[in-house]
Amino acid sequence: MDIGTISLILLFGMLLLLAIGMPLGFASGFLAVVVLVLKFGPDLLFSNFGTGPLNILAQRIYGVTTEYVLISVPLFILMATLLERSVIARDM
């Protein structure tokens, strides 16, 4: 399957799924699985566990979630919530 066909599937699939009201995150995740199955075959999900494209995907997800810089985001949100709830933000 060439890149042009994959691009058309993604474009029209995204437009269709968003038109029927599916949230963007679920639509993009669903289309990612569809393209993986179309590109590598349906046996990708059931055979050779721990190798191939799904292993690369798992390694990338683990690498992104263990970055120390991203720890500051939830802590910043927690700090803002604490300031708001303790009425300190209004006094500032």
Write the DSSP string, 18-58. HHTT--HHHHHHHHHHHHHHHHH-GGGGTSSTTSSHHHHHH
Residue 54 pLDDT > 80 = no
Supply angle C-alpha 16, 20, 25, rounded to 5: 80
The pLDDT of residue 70? 80
The pLDDT of residue 44? 67
**pTM of model > 0.75:** no
For 22-49, the pLDDT digits (tens) are 999 999 999 988 988 888 777 766 666 6
In the numeric block, the tokens 């300031």 are attached to 83
Burial class (CB in 10 A: 0-12, 13-18, 19+), 61: exposed
Average pLDDT over residues 2-17: 93
